[in-house]
């Protein structure tokens, strides 16, 4: 039997990960885990839910039975990062505090150990689990026996105002979640109403060959697959159930043109909702997570907060 040297590289996808011939995966961005917490300054509380598949954030309660819009957020990375990382936890905490929303930050299994569409399916499972709470509120006895209701969701979410949002690769997943939710059979039910979607620096594909995407998504049909390159599938865009979409781009982001292409595709698709784009000059991909206290990150945050708070 021939031994394989432990340091012999099979696939190198820097700056994300490297796969060695013995099967070992080396990541270049190992996130720092942070525990859920109660913040006495903002009143925001958080806890991990649904078998640790997501982190739930509750804003400060000032009235009995107070209801808030719901934000479902999906982090970027595909093969790096987590809903439980220091950066994403702080960012979600800030959104919840400023926008006064309940937020669910999804934690999906990472590639390449779990190839795509695992992250899509993990995210959809969290959304379907969340939507089951509508049936709890409606007192319908058609829930699976293993379902355990989460009181923060049941007691404090206004299911008529649900938003989806994500950054980078998470924005691709969020787009696909809206495609699934917009299917004709209404898989999430009538009471779970998605009114808006925000895509921050989306990691959409295009017509160029992308070895990274093809490696972590071996079952895709190519880079025109609607889960990677939605701008090539106008019919799916035209069926969106939400009323408004916000797209964020950054001038120095190598993915900038893909955000603009998606925005143009929405305008051409026949979708009846409103789409807006905000481009940040002089900044690069997900700068708002890398420098959350800078002035331009503050402007991006304000736009997000206004988007979630706008009356529909």
**Of 88, 89, 67, residue with least CA distance to 77:** 88
Same domain membership, residue 14 and residue 115: no
Residue in 231, 74, 89, 295 with CA at minimum distance from that of residue 165: 74
The pLDDT of residue 54 = 98
The pLDDT value recorded for residue 274 is 97
The CATH number covering residue 94 comes to: 3.40.50.1820
Q: Are residues 8 and 140 in the same domain?
A: no
Domain shared by 41 and 156, yes or no: yes
Mean pLDDT by groups of 10 residues along the chain of 312 residues: 71 94 91 96 97 97 94 97 97 98 98 97 97 75 72 96 98 97 93 97 85 91 85 93 98 96 96 97 98 98 97 78
Token representation of residue 71: 């934000």
Q: Domain check: are 99 and 12 in the same one? A: no
Q: What is the CA radius of gyration of the chain?
A: 20
Based on the domain organization, do 115 and 244 belong to the same domain? yes
Nearest to 211 by CA among 66, 8, 13: 13
| pLDDT at residue 151, rounded to an integer | 95
Please give the sequence-ordered ranges of beta strands (E in DSSP) within 44-87, or none if there are none. 45-49, 54-58, 68-74
285 is catalytic: yes
Residues 3 and 124 both lie in one domain: no
> H-helix or E-strand containing 166?
strand 157-167
Same domain, 71 and 99: yes
Whether 201 is catalytic? no
Omega into 33 within 30° of 0, i.e. cis?
Answer: no
The residue annotated as part of the active site, out of 85, 168, 182, 259, is 168
Residues 126 and 4 in one domain: no
Number of domains in the chain: 2
Q: What share of the chain is helix, strand, coil (3-state, %, to 5)?
A: 30, 20, 45
* Same domain for 94 and 1: no
Same domain, 21 and 35: no
On whether both 25 and 164 belong to a single domain, the answer is no
253 part of the active site? yes
Give the structural domain span for 6: 1-30
pLDDT for the residue numbered 215: 93
Same domain, yes or no: 151 and 5? no
The catalytic residue among 75, 88, 285, 288 is 285
- So what's the pLDDT on residue 30? 85
Catalytic: which of 85, 253, 259, 269?
Answer: 253
């Amino acid at each position: 039997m021939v031994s394989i040297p432990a340091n012999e590289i099979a696939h190198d996808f820097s700056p994300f990960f490297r796969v060695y011939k013995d099967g070992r995966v080396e990541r270049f961005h190992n996130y720092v885990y942070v525990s859920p917490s109660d913040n006495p300054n903002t009143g925001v509380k958080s806890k991990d839910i649904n078998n640790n598949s997501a982190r739930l954030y509750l804003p400060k309660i000032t009235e009995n039975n107070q209801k808030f819009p719901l934000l479902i957020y999906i982090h970027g990375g595909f093969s790096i990062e987590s809903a439980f990382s220091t950066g994403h936890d702080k960012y979600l905490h800030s959104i919840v505090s400023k926008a006064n929303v309940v937020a669910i930050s999804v934690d999906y299994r990472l590639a390449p150990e779990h190839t795509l569409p695992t992250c899509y399916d993990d995210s959809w499972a969290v959304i379907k689990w969340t939507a089951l709470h509508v049936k709890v509120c409606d007192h319908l006895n058609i829930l699976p026996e293993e379902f355990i209701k989460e009181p923060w969701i049941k007691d404090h979410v206004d299911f008529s105002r649900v938003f989806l949002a994500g950054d980078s690769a998470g924005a691709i997943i969020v787009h696909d979640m809206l495609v699934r939710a917009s299917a004709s059979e209404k898989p999430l039910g009538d009471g779970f109403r998605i009114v808006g979607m925000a895509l921050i620096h989306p990691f959409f594909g295009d017509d160029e060959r992308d070895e990274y995407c093809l490696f972590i998504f071996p079952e895709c049909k190519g880079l025109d697959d609607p889960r990677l390159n939605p701008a090539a599938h106008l019919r799916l865009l035209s069926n969106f159930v939400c009323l408004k979409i916000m797209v964020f781009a950054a001038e120095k982001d190598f993915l900038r043109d893909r955000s603009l292409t998606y925005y143009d595709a929405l305008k051409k698709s026949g979708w009846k909702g409103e789409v807006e784009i905000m481009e940040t000059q002089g900044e690069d991909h997900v700068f708002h997570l890398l420098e959350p206290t800078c002035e331009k990150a503050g402007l991006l945050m304000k736009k997000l907060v206004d988007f979630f708070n706008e009356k529909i």
